[in-house]
Structure 1
Amino acid sequence: MNIFKQFYKSIYSPKDIASFRFQGIGKTILYVFFLTFLSILPAIFYLNTMLNAGIESTKSVINDDIPSFTIENGTLSADTDVPITVDKGDFSIFVDPTGVITNEDVEDKGNAIALLKSEITVAAGGRIDSYSYSMMEGLTLTKEDFIDIVDTVDGMKGIIIPVISIFMFLVSSAVSFIEVSILAWIGLLLKNLAGRSISYRHLWRMAAYSVTLPTVFFTIMSALNTPVPNSFYINWFVEILILFLAIKEIPNENTNIEN
């Protein structure tokens, strides 16, 4: 069965997921990479959209609507006593030296860039990434420097987007493999609950396919730019439930012996 048919079957069939436990580990690893690539497509699309549509408006906003600011010693300071939010269509810019605005506030805006008190946060396609100013230890960044950076980004979009996309893929892949491994460990408890005998290596293969349905769901929500409340708990609940149902599809050895 090819990877695309496995993908389709894994969306709705715990019985097929159970049957995949005997396949080669290489094919299962390839499937995890495939799911990871699928899951980051909306973020890559919105990243591209944000860079292309947002750079000029960003320069305009920084020049006309945002006060002078300085990032020094890991902290943002600005000529304002209140947070500033500038909305430009589907793109928003925050400047907050007060610490009032949170990453959740930025995420709610969908596509946004935020200069917060101790970090810069970028939200795109339902995904949010934060980078602490402490990473720039010894470096001072001002409003004028930021405009120069935006100009540089504008001229390097053809390089930046592929590089960031590859970085996102590598990081997301690492997270996916960790998630599948944890789910497989949970499967060791589930197999005892279901009264089935199955090894960890087989559970790992099943876990890789059990994450398909929530991955598809959250990818669609990300593509629609729609945040899902309690997404972490929903994701794990569905994954564990599907893995448990798949384990239940494995014949009980004791029953087979009796028969």
Structure 2
Amino acid sequence: MNLFKQLFKSLYSPKDIALYRYQGIGKTILYVFFLTLLSVIPNVYYFSAAVINGLNAAQTAVKDQFPEFTIENGKLEARQDEPIIINRDDFAIIFDSTGKINEDDFSKEDNAIAFLQNEIFFIAGGNTQSYPYSMFTFPITSSDLQEFLDTIDSVTWIMLVIMAIFIYIFSAGMKFIEISIYALFGLLFKNMTEKNLQYGQLWRMSAYSVTLPTIFFTIMAALQTSVLNGFLINWFASLIVLILTIKEVPKQKQI
């Protein structure tokens, strides 16, 4: 049975998942990598789109809309009376050397870059990173930043590919750890139900039991819809499917 058929049956059939306990571990590991690949596609897509849109917007803003500025001695200096706020392609760009804007003013943005008085903020997919200007040991001017952005633009796709690979490897590692923990819970439940199952078999069954919640959260990520208590729902749903799968295994015969 190919991976797509296994994925489809794992969405609704604990009985079929129970049969997968006999297949080779290599095919199960391949399935986990395949499932992980599907799950990271929305995040990689939206992250890449945010980076590209943000870079294009930043290049335009620095060139045409920002005043001449200098970053020196840990501070942004420019001739400016009011903050500049630019919204373009679902990406916000903020330039404020006056100190009137703080992190709380743009904390709800999904994608943004903010040049504030003492530090710069990057927001991608709702995740915020900040860097103080004091980390720069040399002055930076607006023309320097323009040249830097042009350089970054020329290698954007290489950076995105590297980032996508990193996200995929990290997600796969977390998925393997998650499955291993489910298999440990499976050991407890199989002892309670007197089922003749080894850890390796429970691991295989756990790998397919995570299919339904993984696909559900992948669809939610594609729709950019947050799920309240998603972590708990994911674990609860996976364990329920695993328990139903273990129940499909015949009890060990009494001698």
Q: Report the equivalent of 1:236.
A: 235
Superposed CA deviations along residues 197-234 of structure 1, whole A, max 9, x for unmatched, are: 32211111111111111111111111111122211111
Q: Report the equivalent of 1:56.
A: 56
Q: CA 1:188–1:35 in 2, change beyond 3 Å: closer, same or farther? A: same
Once the two structures are TM-superposed, the CA of residue 147 in structure 1 deviates from its matched residue by 4.6
Q: Report the equivalent of 1:33.
A: 33
In 2, Cα distance between the equivalents of 1:241 and 1:228? 19
Query: Percent identical across equivalent pairs?
Result: 42
1:152 is aligned to 2:137: no
Superposition RMSD on alpha carbons, in Å? 3.7
> Would you say how many aligned residue pairs link Structure 1 and Structure 2?
244
TM-score, normalised by the number of residues in structure 1: 0.76
TM-score, normalised by the number of residues in structure 2: 0.77
Once the two structures are TM-superposed, the CA of residue 47 in structure 1 deviates from its matched residue by 2.8
Q: Report the equivalent of 1:250.
A: 249
Q: CA 1:188–1:157 in 2, change beyond 3 Å: closer, same or farther? A: same
Q: Comparing 181-190 with 235-244, which one deviates more in the overlay?
A: 181-190
Q: Comparing 156-165 with 189-198, which one deviates more in the overlay?
A: 189-198
Q: Which amino acid aligns with 1:161?
A: L
Q: Any gaps of 5 or more consecutive residues in structure 1?
A: none
What are the within-5 Å matches in structure 2 for residues 114-133 of structure 1? 121-124=122-125, 133=131
Superposed CA deviations along residues 131-159 of structure 1, whole A, max 9, x for unmatched, are: 5759x996558674655443222111231
Q: Which amino acid aligns with 2:247?
A: K
Q: CA 1:48–1:248 in 2, change beyond 3 Å: closer, same or farther? A: same
Q: Comparing 41-50 with 177-186, which one deviates more in the overlay?
A: 41-50
Larger radius of gyration: 2
Report the 3-state secondary structure (helix = DSSP H, G, I; strand = E; otherwise coil) of the residue aligned with 1:46.
helix
Report the 3-state secondary structure (helix = DSSP H, G, I; strand = E; otherwise coil) of the residue aligned with 2:92.
strand
Q: CA 1:55–1:200 in 2, change beyond 3 Å: closer, same or farther? A: same
Q: Comparing 191-200 with 58-67, which one deviates more in the overlay?
A: 58-67
Once the two structures are TM-superposed, the CA of residue 67 in structure 1 deviates from its matched residue by 10
Report the 3-state secondary structure (helix = DSSP H, G, I; strand = E; otherwise coil) of the residue aligned with 2:226.
coil
Q: CA 1:121–1:193 in 2, change beyond 3 Å: closer, same or farther? A: farther
